[in-house]
Structure 1
Amino acid sequence: MSAILADPDLLVLVAAILVLAGMVKGILGMGMPTVLLALLTAVLGLSSAMALMLVPTITTNLWQALAGGQLLALSRRLWPFLTAAALAVWPGVWILASVDPRWLSLLLGLLLMLYGVLNLARRSLRLSERLSHACGAGALTGLLTGMTGSSVFPGVPWLQSIGLPREALIQAMGMLFCITTASLALALGERNVLTADLLLASCAALLPAFIGMWLGQQLRRRLSEARFRQVFLIGIIALGAWLVVKAL
């Protein structure tokens, strides 16, 4: 945090990124961690980006996980998937602390591109809800979360493939993101990647993130959500490509 505070230009840039990510969340109801990871990784590096996004991501997704009235039913149905995801974050963070961050930035870029392309093409993966598949999908999601901070793949495609109604799907994604991000916070702290300064900065990041969410909710009434979603996904693909090129 001291490095961010010491550079006013960097402070303004990070605050602007947090507002932008909040706006995306306010308009689409999703996308905050994706935007934060993509842009903050480019500015601060992957480890700092993962630490800075923790508190805003946990807070917003905790609300999403508790809303909807299906928490108990979804917990009973999804517990093998969610448990495997939470536990697998820890070996992912071990890899994060042991491997050249450039390669993990490359992996994050590829995952962002895959996420954007699949959603633009409106393609979905066909995955089974069998216990072994649920645990496998959860474990891979947790591992990639620990390595890159992103819980999107293959967790979101797996949730989309098991036939959840729209509102249940939104709540289930909130549960996944909340659990994996909380596990990520604990694992980063245990590996001394999450310092006290970064945790304080992550708490301070709540304010610009919530300002952005409020602005996004106001803009939602005036914008075509479908068009904005299309622009957002193209931007995510471009950011992923840029991270890949930078890493290489």
Structure 2
Amino acid sequence: MIGFVIAVFAIAGMIKGAIGLGLPAVAMGLLTMVISPFQAAALLIVPSMVTNFWQLFAEGRVLQLVQRFWPLLLGIIAGSIWSVFPTLGHGEFQSEALLGAMLALYGLYGLCAKKLPNFAGQEKWLSPIIGYLGGALTVATGVVVIPVVPYLQGLQLKRDDLVQALGLAFTTSTICLAVFLQQNPVDNMPLDYQMSLIALFPALIGMWAGKKIRYRIPEQKFRKVFFAGLIALGGYMMLHQFGWI
């Protein structure tokens, strides 16, 4: 089991190092093939928190971003507390199908979205709605991707600001996920923070390797393979959940 966890986080870290995203999505998708989504989300806490902090504080202007995006952050918090979706490990509907659908949508978005609409004019009222949906999906699937990532990319931010804004949203959602998992254990299942800490090291090594790969393989080609892989993984998870394969 430890060997599998190390391999998964090394792969997920390599992808994040190569294209700047994808660690939680890839790790959750692969881990839920052998363990429950609740357990997989618990393993994500330390690697996600450390890598997101790194992404958030790599540059300055954190306070300015908080001042701008506080409605989005409050929405994420509200969504994680009052989710409209079945949450991880609870309810009759299992989270694998929802996670699979979100990964597939993320892959389709990555392959097909050539030019996003400009959401800047609607930011004031869209931010809390997008944040709420992102927070609700975080405690339902363990991953914050849809609709937060496309929304932030649609605000036409400068590249450095976009990277930090994503780091801010990811950090907030990861904290909310950690609190949710701690307060809503499944069958008295304790959170394995020791294993999560172990997972941090292959993730960091993978990120380092991914940065090396970035200079050897064209990023656009790597992105296409990554998003196509997400579609295949998400599709497999949905079909498996419904017993069709």
Asked if Structure 1 and Structure 2 have the same fold, meaning a TM-score greater than 0.5 normalized by the shorter chain, the answer is yes
From 44, 56, 68, the counterpart of 1:77:
68
Q: 4+ runs of 1 displaced by more than 4 Å?
A: 125-128, 193-197
In structure 2, distance between residues paired with 1:88 and 1:148: 13
Cα displacement string for residues 141-175 of structure 1 (whole angstroms, at most 9, x for unaligned residues): 10000100111111111111222111111110011
**Aligned counterparts of 2:66 and 2:36: Cα–Cα separation in 1:** 34
Q: Does 1:100 align with 2:96?
A: no
Contact 1:65–1:174 (Cα < 8 Å) also in 2: yes
Amino acid at match of 1:99: G
Q: Deviations over 1:196-234 (max 9, x none)?
A: 451211111111111111221222221111111110110
Residue identity in the other structure for 1:170: V
Q: Is 1:90–1:184's contact at 8 Å kept on the other side of the alignment?
A: no
Letter in 2 for 1:203: L
1:91 equivalent in structure 2: 82
Q: Any conservation in 2 of the 1:52–1:201 contact (CA below 8 Å)?
A: yes
Aligned residue number for residue 56 of structure 1: 47
Please say if residues 18 and 211 of structure 2, whose CA atoms lie closer than 8 Å, have aligned partners that are also in contact: yes
Aligned equivalents of 2:89, 2:23: Cα separation in 1: 24
Cross-structure match for 2:176: 183
Scaled by the length of structure 2, the TM-score of the pair is: 0.90
Equivalent position of 2:238 in the other structure:
244
Equivalent position to 2:105, from 114, 121, 124: 114
Unaligned runs of 5+ in 1: 1-9
1:30 aligned partner, one-letter code:
L
Q: Give distance in 2, aligned partners of 1:228 and 1:81.
A: 30
Distance 2:92 2:192 in 1: 20
Flag structure 2 segments of 5+ consecutive residues without an equivalent: none
Map of 1:6 onto structure 2: none
Q: Secondary structure at the match of 2:204?
A: helix
Partners in 2 of 1:43 and 1:84 — Cα distance? 32
Query: How far apart, in 1, do the equivalents of 2:117 and 2:241 lie?
Result: 28
8 Å CA contact 1:189, 1:195 repeated in 2: no
Number of aligned positions between the proteins: 238
The offset of 1:86, in angstroms, is 2.0
Matches within 5 A, 1:92-241: 92=83, 95-100=87-92, 102=94, 104-123=95-114, 124=116, 127=119, 129-193=122-186, 196=190, 198-241=192-235
Paired residue type of 2:42: A
Give the number of the structure whose residues are more often helix, by fraction. Answer: 1
Offset of residue 42 of structure 1: 1.3
**Matched AA of 2:67:** R
